[in-house]
Amino acid sequence: MASKLFASKLNQLRTLTPLRFQPLSIAALMTTPSPSSLTEEEGISMKGVKISGRPLYLDMQATSPVDPRVLDSMLPYYLSRYGNPHSRTHLYGWESDSAVELARSQVSSLIKASSKEIVFTSGATESNNISVKGVMHFYKEKKKHVITTQTEHKCVLDSCRHLQQEGFDVSYLPVGKDGILDLDLLRKSIRPDTGLVSVMMVNNEIGVIQPMEEIGKICKEFGIPFHTDAAQALGKVPIDVEKMNVSLMSLSGHKIYGPKGVGALYMRRRPRIRVEPQMNGGGQERGIRSGTVPTPLVVGMGAACELAMKEMEYDEKRIKGLQERLLNGITSKIDGVVVNGSTERRYAGNMNISFAYVEGESLLMGLKEVAVSSGSACTSASLEPSYVLRALGVEEDMAHTSIRFGIGRFTTEAEIDRAVELTVKQVEKLREMSPLYEMVKEGIDIKSIQWAQH
C-alpha cells in the first residue's frame, strides 16, 4: 500500500537523521514529539485543558477522518504523478487529467448524475456561494426573489444576506418543531420573480432530512431552479438528482472520509442551469471555477465517493445500531433528555440532544474526554444558543444545553459506551449542583415561578 510505503520512508528518515531538519519539512514533523506521544502520566495539555489522552471522536458532522483507502489513492499524485491536469503537452498532465475525470465520474455516479454536470470546487461553502449568488446574478434582470429556510448553513444564509444588500428579496421560511419545512408554506411563498429555492438536504446541526422529492416537484411545477446543500447527505443517504429535480447541489469531500479543501458542485445540463462565476482566472472547470484543479484532493474525493457507494448500506445499518445504543444508554440512566429534530426523518449519525437543568458550557467542558460539539463547527465559537434550535422553537435554556453526537464509519461500540458513561456522569454531577433540578424533584413547576427583579 502506498500509505504504508510512505510511512516507512518517513520512519527511515527519522531514524537515520538527527534533528537537523528545516522546521517546515515533513521529516522534521515526524521527529518532533507530538502532544499525543506524551506519556499517560504527562497527559495532553492544549488551550488550557489537560486530559490523560486523545479524546473519543464523536464530531463527524464537523469533519471525518480520511479513510486509509482514500489516502492510498491520493499519495501517487503527490509523489510521482504530480503533473498539472491542465498541461496538455506531456504525460504528467495527461495522467493527472485522466485521474480528475475518473474522480468526476465517481462523484457523479453517487448522485446519479452525468460526469459532465460536476464542477470541482474548494468545498461546499464555495459551491453554495456559486449557487446562490451565481444564479441570482445571472438572472438578475428578471428574477429578484430567493426562498430559503431559517435553518440553512451559515454560508447560505450569509450569501442570501449579501444578495439583500444588493437589492434582492429573500424569504427565510420557518420550519416546524421537527425541523421539517412546510410544503404548503413553500408553495405560498413562491412569486413570479422567484429565481431560486435553496433547502439543505440533511441539516448539519440536527440531522433532519427534508422532503427533497416533494420540494423538487413544487419547484418544477413553477419552473424555479432548486439548490440544495448536500454536504451532510452525500454518501450517507441515497441521492438521485433526477428524482429530486435538483438543479444545483453542493458537495464536500471531508464529510465523507475524504480530504479537506475539495468539494464539488452539481449543475444540471437539461434543462440547463446558468450561473455567473464568482472567481475569474484561467477558465478551468468550464469557466465556472477558475484555478488549477488539485489532483490529489479530487482523486481522494472521488475514491471516497466510490467507497460510499459500495458501503453506504452497511454503514447506515451499523451507525443506526450505534445511535440506538447511545440514546438508549443515556435515556435509561437519566431523565430530562430531549432529542432535537424529527426522530423519523433524520440521518442516524447525527444525534442532537438537550439535557434539562444543566448549564451547557459546563457540560461541554466536562466532556473533555469526548470530542463533541454544541452545534455547527462554523458557529461554535459563539456563546449564543444555536439559531437552528431556536428556529425549531427550542427554549433558550434547553438550546444552551444541546450536545451534537456525530457517529461515523470508524466509531466503535466501546467508544459509544464510554461516551454514555461520561455523559451520564457529568449530567448527574451538574444536576447535583443545580437548585432548579432540586425544585423539579420536589414537584415545583419552575415555569410558574415569578422570579423577583433586582
Question: What single string gives the DSSP state of each residue in 322-360?
Answer: HHHHHHHHHHTT-S-EEE-S-SSSB-TTEEEEEETTS-H
The rounded radius of gyration (Å) of the Cα atoms in the chain is 24
- Residue 32: inside a domain: no
Clarify whether residues 239 and 277 are in a common domain. Answer: yes
Based on the residue annotation, tell me whether 160 is a catalytic residue of this protein: no
Nearest Cα to 393, choosing from 76, 101, 176, 206? Answer: 176
Q: What is the largest CA-CA distance in the chain?
A: 80
Q: Which pLDDT does position 394 carry in this prediction?
A: 94
- Residue 126: inside a domain: yes
Nearest Cα to 224, choosing from 187, 183, 250? Answer: 187
Residues 350-356: what's their mean pLDDT? 96
345 vs 31 pLDDT, higher one: 345
Q: Which pLDDT does position 47 carry in this prediction?
A: 77
Asked whether the predicted pLDDT for residue 158 surpasses 60, the reply is: yes
Choice among 46-60, 136-150, 310-324 with the minimum mean pLDDT: 46-60
User: What region does 222 belong to: left with phi over 0, alpha with psi -120 to 50, or beta?
Assistant: alpha
> Residue 369 belongs to a domain with what CATH number?
3.90.1150.10
3-state secondary structure of 49: strand
Q: Which pLDDT does position 208 carry in this prediction?
A: 98
Cell 458557529 sits on residue = 379
Q: Are residues 71 and 300 in contact, defined by beta-carbon separation less than 8 angstroms?
A: yes
Cell 482566472 sits on residue = 281
pLDDT, tens only, 106-133: 999 999 999 999 999 999 999 999 999 9
Count of all residues that appear for the chain in the document = 454
Q: How many C-alpha atoms does 439 have within 13 Å on its Cβ side? A: 11
* Strand 194-198 with 169-173, pairing: unpaired
Q: Which strand ranges, in their side-by-side order, compose the sheet holding 337-339?
A: 337-339, 350-355, 402-406
- Residue 111: inside a domain: yes
Helix and strand counts by DSSP (H, E) for the chain: 16, 14
Q: What share of the chain is helix, strand, coil (3-state, %, to 5)?
A: 45, 15, 45
C-alpha cell belonging to residue 173: 421560511
Boundary residue ending a domain (307, 334, 355): 307
What whole-number percentage of the chain has pLDDT above 70?
86
- Residue 155: inside a domain: yes
Asked whether the predicted pLDDT for residue 359 surpasses 70, the reply is: yes
- 227 phi and psi, to 5 degrees? -110, 140
Nearest Cα to 371, choosing from 334, 320, 423? Answer: 423
Asked whether the predicted pLDDT for residue 428 surpasses 50, the reply is: yes
C-alpha cell belonging to residue 274: 446558468
Tell me, rounded to whole angstroms, the distance of Cα 3 from its chain centroid.
Answer: 26
Q: Which pLDDT does position 32 carry in this prediction?
A: 47
- Residue 258: inside a domain: yes
Q: Which pLDDT does position 343 carry in this prediction?
A: 94
pLDDT, tens only, 237-286: 999 999 999 999 999 999 999 999 999 999 999 999 999 999 889 999 98
Clarify whether residues 296 and 436 are in a common domain. Answer: no
- Residue 31 — pLDDT band, cuts 50, 70, 90? very low
Clarify whether residues 397 and 427 are in a common domain. Answer: yes
Give the residues across from 119 on adjacent strands.
Answer: 265
- 346 phi and psi, to 5 degrees? -155, 155
Q: Which pLDDT does position 52 carry in this prediction?
A: 81
In this structure, what DSSP letter does residue 138 have? H
Clarify whether residues 227 and 320 are in a common domain. Answer: no
> Residue 225 belongs to a domain with what CATH number?
3.40.640.10
* Strand 350-355 with 370-371, pairing: unpaired
- Residue 56 — pLDDT band, cuts 50, 70, 90? very high
Give the Å distances, CA to CA, from 235 to 28, 227, 252, 318: 36, 18, 10, 14
Clarify whether residues 215 and 364 are in a common domain. Answer: no
Asked whether the predicted pLDDT for residue 23 surpasses 50, the reply is: no
3-state secondary structure of 57: strand
Clarify whether residues 298 and 409 are in a common domain. Answer: no
Boundary residue ending a domain (307, 338, 353): 307
Q: Which of 155, 160, 305, 378 is catalytic?
A: 378
Q: Which amino acid is at 37?
A: S
pLDDT, tens only, 315-335: 999 999 999 999 999 999 999
- Residue 43: inside a domain: no
Q: Are residues 273 and 198 in contact, defined by beta-carbon separation less than 8 angstroms?
A: no
Residues 91-120: what's their mean pLDDT? 98
Q: Report the alpha-carbon distance of residue 165 to residue 396 in Å, rounded.
A: 30
Clarify whether residues 303 and 323 are in a common domain. Answer: no
Range of the domain at 426: 312-442
Clarify whether residues 100 and 216 are in a common domain. Answer: yes
Q: Report the alpha-carbon distance of residue 314 to residue 435 in Å, rounded.
A: 46
Other C-beta atoms lying within 10 Å of the C-beta of residue 40:
8
- Residue 450: inside a domain: no
Give the residues across from 355 on adjacent strands.
Answer: 337
Give the Å distances, CA to CA, from 88 to 76, 105, 217: 20, 20, 43
- Residue 234 — pLDDT band, cuts 50, 70, 90? very high
Clarify whether residues 298 and 362 are in a common domain. Answer: no
Boundary residue ending a domain (289, 307, 325): 307
Mean pLDDT in the chain? Answer: 89
386-414 b/e with 16+ CB inside 10 Å = b?
bbbbebbebeebbbbbbbbbbbbbebeee
Clarify whether residues 259 and 371 are in a common domain. Answer: no
- Residue 35: inside a domain: no
Residues 372-388: what's their mean pLDDT? 70
Q: Which pLDDT does position 25 carry in this prediction?
A: 39
Q: How many C-alpha atoms does 304 have within 13 Å on its Cβ side? A: 30
Clarify whether residues 78 and 105 are in a common domain. Answer: yes
Clarify whether residues 329 and 272 are in a common domain. Answer: no
Nearest Cα to 323, choosing from 207, 179, 449? Answer: 207
Q: Tell me how many domains the chain contains.
A: 2
